[in-house]
């Protein structure tokens, strides 16, 4: 994945747990310390190794690290570095999710040949949606779970994920989040 992701994991750990813990995590991961350039693409294994080492050092499940990371991604990484892109994507929770594919499309000139996920929103009623997340990668749905929490804060919305189920696919992952949110 692009170094932007690795750099964001580093920023999240440093902010929430401090520099010393970050140095421990980096050493535990075995990831070279030149793997953090925003616009360079690195092997996905490096990102997974950082998450795995964070889980080990912090004694938390990897899923929890990914959730905290997802929230940090929305509230800090994306907002601080790409606020114009974020603002153009929507002014409410559901509208924003409906436009995330075009957000990722819009930045293909910056992140050449990258592999962003695909999202579909099915509106069930005024305050209920099904969010489909499809990725060529595995194990990142807790990251999306954290992103949902971050977006709820961004839009100051009451959001509850009532169910999460995975649909079997040949490669990668397809997860469906059932979400209750303020009427839109
Ligand atoms: C302007 C803000 C954003 C930027 C610059 C951005 C950029 C990126 C980049 C560079 C990757 C790595 C993919 C790769 O290297 O192949 C990525 C992955 C990802 N992005 Fe975005 N993104 C943004 C906002 C969002 C938002 C708002 C969401 C969700 C609502 C999202 C969901 C994801 C997920 C889940 C992944 C993990 C990859 C996967 O699932 O396979 N991103 N994004």
Say how many Å lie between the CA of residue 153 and the centre of ligand 1: 18
The CA 135 to ligand 1 mean position distance, Å, reads 11
SS3 (DSSP) at 181: strand
36: left (phi over 0), alpha (psi -120 to 50) or beta: alpha
Is residue 94 in contact with ligand 1, taking CB distance under 6 Å? no
Which of the listed residues 104, 144, 147 should we mutate to test ligand 1's pocket, taking the one with most ligand atoms within 8 A of CB?
Answer: 104
Q: Is the CB of 117 inside a 6 Å radius of any atom of ligand 1? A: yes
Q: Report how far ligand 1's centroid is from the alpha carbon of 59 (Å).
A: 26
What confidence score (pLDDT) does residue 82 get?
Answer: 95
pLDDT digits (tens, 9 = 90+) for 138-177: 999 999 999 999 999 999 999 999 999 999 999 999 999 9
Query: Which pLDDT belongs to residue 182?
Result: 82
Whether 184 has a pLDDT exceeding 80, the answer reads: no
Q: Is the pLDDT of residue 118 over 90?
A: yes
pLDDT tens digits, residue range 8-30?
999 999 999 999 999 999 999 99
Ligand 1 atom nearest 77 alpha carbon: 2
Q: Which tokens is 81 given?
A: 């570095």
The pLDDT assigned to 149 comes to: 98
Question: 32-91: per-residue pLDDT in tens?
Answer: 999 999 999 999 999 999 999 999 999 999 999 999 999 999 999 999 999 999 999 999
Instruction: For residue 1, report the distance from its CA to the centre of ligand 1, in Å.
Output: 10
**pTM of the model as a whole:** 0.96
100 lines ligand 1 (CB under 6 A): yes
Backbone angles phi, psi at 47, to 5 degrees: -65, -45
Q: What value does the mean pLDDT take over residues 88-102?
A: 97
Q: Return phi, psi of residue 93, to 5°.
A: -55, -50
**Which residue's CA is the nearest one to ligand 1's atom 35?**
144
Whether 143 is in the pocket of ligand 1, judged by its Cβ within 6 Å, is yes
């Amino acid at each position: 994945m692009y170094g932007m992701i690795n750099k964001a994991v580093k920023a999240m750990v440093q902010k929430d747990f401090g520099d010393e813990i970050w140095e421990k995590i980096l050493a535990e991961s075995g990831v070279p310390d030149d793997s953090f350039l925003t616009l360079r693409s690195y092997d996905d294994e490096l990102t997974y190794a950082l998450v795995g080492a964070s889980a080990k050092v912090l004694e938390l499940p990897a899923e929890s690290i990914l959730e905290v990371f997802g929230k940090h991604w929305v509230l800090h990484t994306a907002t601080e570095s790409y606020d114009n892109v974020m603002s153009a994507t929507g002014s409410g929770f559901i509208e924003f999710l409906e436009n995330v594919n075009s957000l990722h499309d819009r930045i293909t000139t910056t992140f050449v040949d990258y592999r962003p996920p695909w999202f579909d929103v099915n509106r069930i009623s005024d305050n209920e949606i099904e969010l489909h997340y499809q990725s060529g990668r595995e194990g990142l749905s807790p990251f999306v779970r954290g992103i949902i929490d971050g977006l709820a804060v961004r839009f100051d919305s009451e959001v509850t994920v009532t169910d999460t189920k995975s649909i079997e696919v040949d490669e990668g992952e397809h997860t469906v989040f059932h979400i209750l949110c303020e009427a839109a």
